[in-house]
Amino acid sequence: MYWKNCAFLILCGFCFTFARCSFPNGSFIIYRSPSVLSLNGIWTAVNSNGSIIVKAKVPGSIYTDLQRNNIIQEPYFGENDLLYRWVGQDNWIFKRKFIGTWKPLEVVGFDTLLITDVTVVPDIINGKLQNMTITTHMETASFDLVNGNMTISLNDSVIFQSNISIKPDENLSAQKTIKIIFTKNYDIKLWWPNGLGSRPLYTLKIIFSNNEESVSKSIKIGFRTIELIQEPVENSTGLSFYFKVNGVPFFAKGSNWIPADSFQERVTPQYIENLLQSAKEANMNMLRVWGGGIYETDEFYETADRLGLLIWQDLMFACALYPTYQDFLSSISTEVTQQVRRLQHHPSLLLWAGNNENEQAISGYWWPSVSQYLEQYKADYVKLYIDTIMLLVTNEDPTRTFLPSSPSNGPETVREGWISSNPQDNLYGDVHFYDYFGSEWNPDTYPRARFVSEYGFQSFPSFESLANVSNPQDWQYPLNDAMKHRQHHMFGNLQMDSMILKHFRLPDTSCGIQGFKDFLYLSQIVQAVAIKTETEKYRRSQSEVVNGEGKTMGALYWQLNDIWPAPSWASIEYGGRWKMLHYYAKHFFSPLLVSPYRKDDEAVVSVVSDLSAPLNNLILNISVFSWSSMEPLLTNVVTLKPPRCSKVVFQESITTLLERSGCPNENSCFLYFIVRSPEEPNLESRNVLFLSEFHSATGLKKPYIAADIIGPFKTEASDYTFNISLDTHAIAPFVWLDVWNIPGKFSDNGFLMVSETVVSFFSKDAIEIKDISNNLNITSLKDTCTN
């Protein structure tokens, strides 16, 4: 994905001695163990001409400092991002020379030695820990040889203890590598991604002590093996691209992660937890940290470890040409080394990717200058990503795959000299796929690639999200200039209009605020169904090879979260509210999926299973419904054996099905599918195959949905859970529930209602039934104000 980015340089200057520091308040401190003095707090920020002097908070940014001092308003409101460009164009001086302080600042004092990072290379064979290589990275206070005792423990059990000597290098850095060989197999429990098993974590603690001080560092680790398999594919000229964890192949289900806020000081550990928990609840097992963002916080990776979310980690290079002069290479070498050492021990870390789309940019001649300087750009690319970055990463972390770019063709890219003639080849590696003006609800639009690491469509966020950052005069359809301004993707609004028009009618221009709300609702429908259609094809394709293409083993849609309240590809809005897409992701990534699609006049039904425990039988119900009746015209029941991966389990002519049911034509009916396990009553999947566009459908009626609410009661998801029983007088497509100004989520949303339905609402706040009933809004397709 390509974004326009702004970067702020952080320039910090300190002067201090190693053993003791004197501070302005006159205090005198002698450190006998590593001590951290926080530099966070209130400072003073001054602009270049001295006309603005405000109290500034560290960590923070000048924008939030000015907002706090009432110099500017909320930067996300209306067109304030334009009005406040002067802030970024001015020079701001913080006392003690801290600029762009959006992360905590601190001085770390130590007498002799400081442990900065610990990297771990376990050797696991057949699920048993054979040996473990532990490298402790340190900084020292002098160039003298440091003698002491090192103790290493795993879950409080000492696994190594010995006297050691540490010799600093010319940068006052040192490292000590210890290989621990277990004479008897060390009993461990393996770490698994979400949906595949448990995620036990172990505390690894390093203690170095001598007569002067004792220093330590603890990290959480997990034991697992991960392999990227790129091998010949039967009946194909290309190579596979899939992962094995602990020897088990799995389909990667997930999304792409971008920075959670333009103002990182607003991002709390709880917000990160909520977003990643939402990914887990949508049955994801992988997230790709996009190379156009930031290296995330320790809390991000620690949470991914706990939740079982594998992290495809791009290095922070994206959609651009980068220099290769020595000072730049030296700077990024330090950056990459620090980040790899910081993150290497996390079991959630899947792989390293050198950049986002830079191989594709050169190969695809994204800029006019590429034609003129092609050979120079290729040479610079190899010098930066291969000769420098890949060498650093593989030296620091030999346990993980390094991909030079995403998308890329794996060994084929290597064979072609690191820049492939077609990095988007469906027969190799990973691809990024976008088609905004194609037939997005038709699975034939999408490729049978080996692994799709980016794909997506836009939608607008909810009315509640936009109401907080816009004026009432902006709540209209067609969109006014202020609302159009929030769209930062070229032709994005046109693309959404086009998608809506293919399937629905656009809101009537006379509907005022209701028309605006309906446009937001319709945009979320077309996005959700499009990505559902695309993702289900990728999951079905894991067992297919068609003209050499197929064996798809990964689907990471663009994107999970949002950086500000605006139209985007995200499935979760800025602030954490789930869009319709995220509710759909919970279904299309479910371990058991019934997936119908149309192939000419045939209704084809596949069942996809990620279940590790085998089932004896599944029951498939196939129903033909008329839009005008809640009683099915025809129901077939099929008993089938649960498939491994994906399998076609039913195929019949649509014409024949409609004739047998008595349905007059495709505009009047739809097909509805349920697959369930008689052994596991809660294990089921529901899906629908629409036979016509909704603007042509006949028989749809206004449903008049009523709600009966009980609660609150405690569940695993929330202490304030409410069950909402919904009753309808007619079939209701795309039933959307919303509770105004109450944070939380539903067990399901955006669904097709063919009978009485019960959904749960999980509130984050302590609320009562009246809070739900007074703020619950129910929308279905026939409630919209359309032509």
Report the Cα 494 to chain-centroid distance in Å. Answer: 26
Q: Active-site residue 659, yes or no?
A: no
> Looking up tokens 């509770």, which residue turns up?
739
Report the Cα 185 to chain-centroid distance in Å. Answer: 37
Which SS3 state, helix, strand or coil, does residue 120 take? strand
Buried b (16+ CB within 10 A) or exposed e, 75-90: bbebebbeebeebeee
For residue 183, give the nearest of 129, 134, 127 by alpha carbon. 129
- DSSP code for 558: S
Instruction: Specify the pairing of strand 41-47 against strand 35-38.
Output: unpaired
> Amino acid letter at 122?
P
Residue count of the chain, please give it.
Answer: 787
Other CB atoms within 10 Å distance of the CB of residue 720: 22
Q: Active-site residue 357, yes or no?
A: yes
Pair of tokens at residue 645: 């991966």
Q: What is the spatial distance between Cα 443 and Cα 27, in angstroms, rounded to a whole number?
A: 70
- DSSP code for 508: P
Buried b (16+ CB within 10 A) or exposed e, 483-493: bebbbebeebb
CA 184 vs CA 128, 188, 202, 400: distances in Å? 10, 12, 19, 26
CA 403 vs CA 72, 341, 368, 408, 542: distances in Å? 43, 18, 27, 8, 22
% helix, strand, coil for the chain, step of 5: 25, 35, 45
H or E stretch covering 131: strand 128-140
User: Per the residue annotation, which of 454, 536, 549, 573 is the catalytic one?
Assistant: 454
User: Per the residue annotation, which of 302, 357, 359, 549 is the catalytic one?
Assistant: 357
Contact (Cβ atoms closer than 8 angstroms) between residue 146 and residue 112: yes
User: Maximum CA pair distance of the chain?
Assistant: 92
Catalytic residue numbers read: 357, 454
